Amino acid sequence: MLRIGMLTSGGDCQALNAAMRGVVKGICSKRDDVEIYGFQEGYKGLIYSNFKMLTSRDFSGILTVGGTILGTSRQPFKLMRVPDENGLDKVEAMKHTYHKLNLDCLVVLGGNGTHKSAHMLSQEGLNVITLPKTIDNDLWGTEMTFGFQSAVDIATDTIDRIHTTATSHSRVFIVEVMGHKVGWVTLHAGVAGGADIVLLPEIPYDIDVVVDAINRRKAAGKKFTIIAVAEGAISKQDAKLSKKDLKKKKEKEKYPSVAYELAEKVQRKTDQEVRITVPGHTQRGGSPCPYDRVLSTRLGAAAAEAILDGEFGCMIGVKKNEMVRVPLSEVAGKLKYVDPKAPIIREAELTGISFGV
Ligand code: F6P
């Protein structure tokens, strides 16, 4: 008997179900003595032994379905070693659940925080294999995460829609794009949607350069300017502050998010009306795009192969369009940022996009 535990952890994204389906279909095509334990709401399910027994049939018909059939929750890595309100040792509890159920392995689908905990469990002796889930595309060790392209599609669609209304008005439109501390979604949606200004966390912006780009467009007879700003974007001035001082400044300013801060600055320095659009969690919603369906199916099938080979302690990642097994020790705790010197930045600049520098 092959006993597999599975959980999805952290913020959801498109193609989580498709990836799990890939794993289960891949294994069940080779073995018929498989038991699947689906832990509910991420690591919480493993800690509190809250699971559902699933069969391969539960994974049929979910290729195109958004969200996760297992549910998910955020269990911060830094609190994993802190006992819960009843004094329960969470790490010991997770190990206990794993051994009690006599699991052969644990399949974990998640992003950065999730990978730190997965690595810890692997170091604690559990057979862990992970899949790279996040719209942010910021996981180290893989060129691509599933969820990313779907989010880019949605953010691009938002910019496209802004474009048509923008042609009717002389305004500055700011679209705030998700991505946590990195600018992958903003960069790709910004280029795909033909944004005029793209502001990324990796390239701190100068507000005067942003304003200059807006004014130059106006002087050239362009009615509107569209700014795609990453939720983690930061000004050059703020980038110089210590973490503590930045936190204090943000608390004092009380902007709901970066788009509002930028809007106020632009409003103060230009004579143009400014409008804000924050698509927020719509970027993680709905059906996965075809690219993500293919990617997650391939990643899932490659995870199935690793399980059947008995190779654990790794994440299945993508390298040059091949599915590769990357040790969790290489993945955990590292972020994959946009390289400000990457060709795509230069090419985008050549086509007229300003990065505010
Ligand atoms: O990591 C995915 C992500 O959607 C980020 O882009 C965003 O910053 C964050 O999650 C939002 O988290 P939550 O769903 O907890 O509000």
DSSP string over 138-188: -BTT-S--EEHHHHHHHHHHHHHHHHHHHTTS-EEEEEEE--TT--HHHHH
Nearest CA owner, ligand 1 atom 15? 11
11 alpha carbon – ligand 1 mean position (Å): 6
Closest residue by CA, ligand 1 atom 12: 11
Say if residue 217 is exposed, middle or buried (CB neighbours under 10 Å; 0-12, 13-18, 19+).
buried
Residue 21 structure tokens? 């389906």
pLDDT band at 48, cuts 50/70/90? very high
Backbone angles phi, psi at 260, to 5 degrees: -70, -40
- CA-based nearest residue to 208, from 224, 197, 194: 197
Give the C-alpha distances (Å, rounded to integers) separating 154 from 99, 198, 227, 281, 292: 42, 16, 16, 10, 13
Which pLDDT tens digit goes with each residue over 303-313? 999 999 999 99
Quick one: pLDDT at residue 249? 95
**Cα(33)–Cα(35) distance, integer angstroms:** 7
Mean predicted confidence (pLDDT) in 320-340: 97
For ligand 1, the distance from its centroid to the CA atom of residue 180, given in whole angstroms, is: 6
Q: What is the pLDDT of residue 203?
A: 98
Does 151-284 match 2-146+288-331 at the fold level?
A: yes
- Top-confidence residue, 168 or 311: 311
Q: How far is the CA of 148 from the centre of ligand 1 (A)?
A: 12
**Which phi-psi region, left, alpha or beta, contains residue 47 (left: φ > 0; alpha: ψ -120 to 50)?**
alpha
pLDDT score of 169 more than 90: no
Atom of ligand 1 nearest to the CA of 112: 1
What distances in angstroms separate CA 291 from CA 144, 145, 152, 296, 337, one per listed residue?
A: 11, 11, 11, 9, 22
Tell me what percent of the residues of the chain surpass a pLDDT of 70: 100
Site of tokens 């923008």: 166
Compute the distance from residue 233 Cα to the ligand 1 centre, in Å: 15
* 93 Cβ neighbours under 8 A, 6+ residues apart: 46, 47, 48, 49
Ligand 1 pocket mutation pick from 73, 180, 258 by most atoms within 8 angstroms of CB: 180
The yes-or-no verdict on residue 42 having pLDDT over 90 is: yes
- Using the mean position of ligand 1's atoms as its centre, give its distance from the Cα of residue 212 in Å: 32
- By C-alpha distance, which of 142, 147, 188 is closest to 288? 147
Domain locations along the chain = 2-146+288-331, 151-284
Q: Does residue 211 have a pLDDT over 90?
A: yes
For residue 136, the ligand 1 atom closest to its alpha carbon is 6
User: Structure tokens of 78?
Assistant: 């830094």
Atom 9 of ligand 1, nearest CA residue: 180
Over range 170-197, report the average pLDDT: 97
- pLDDT (average), residues 72-89: 96
Tell me the C-alpha distance between 139 and 130, whole Å: 12
Question: What pLDDT band is residue 170 in, cutting at 50, 70 and 90?
Answer: confident
What is the pLDDT at residue 75? 93
CATH code: domain 2-146+288-331 is 3.40.50.450
SS3 string, 180-215, reads CCCCHHHHHHHHHCCCCEEECCCCCECHHHHHHHHH
Write the DSSP assignment of 319-344 as a string of letters.
Answer: ETTEEEEEEHHHHTT-B-PPPTTSHH
Question: Residues 199-205: what's their mean pLDDT?
Answer: 98
Given pLDDT bands bounded at 50, 70 and 90, which one contains residue 258? very high
270: closest CA among 188, 147, 171? Answer: 171
Structure tokens at 66: 């958004």
Closest approach atom of ligand 1 to CA 281: 4
Say if residue 322's pLDDT is above 90: yes
Residue-level length of the chain: 357
CA distance 213 to 260: 19
End-to-end CA distance of the chain: 59
Atom of ligand 1 nearest to the CA of 283: 4
Supply the residues annotated as catalytic.
136
Question: What's the pLDDT at 271?
Answer: 87
Does the 151-284 domain belong in CATH 3.40.50.460? yes
**Ligand 1 neighbours (beta carbon < 6 A):** 11, 74, 111, 134-136, 178-180, 231, 284
Asked if residue 237 has pLDDT above 90, the reply is yes
Mean pLDDT of the chain: 97
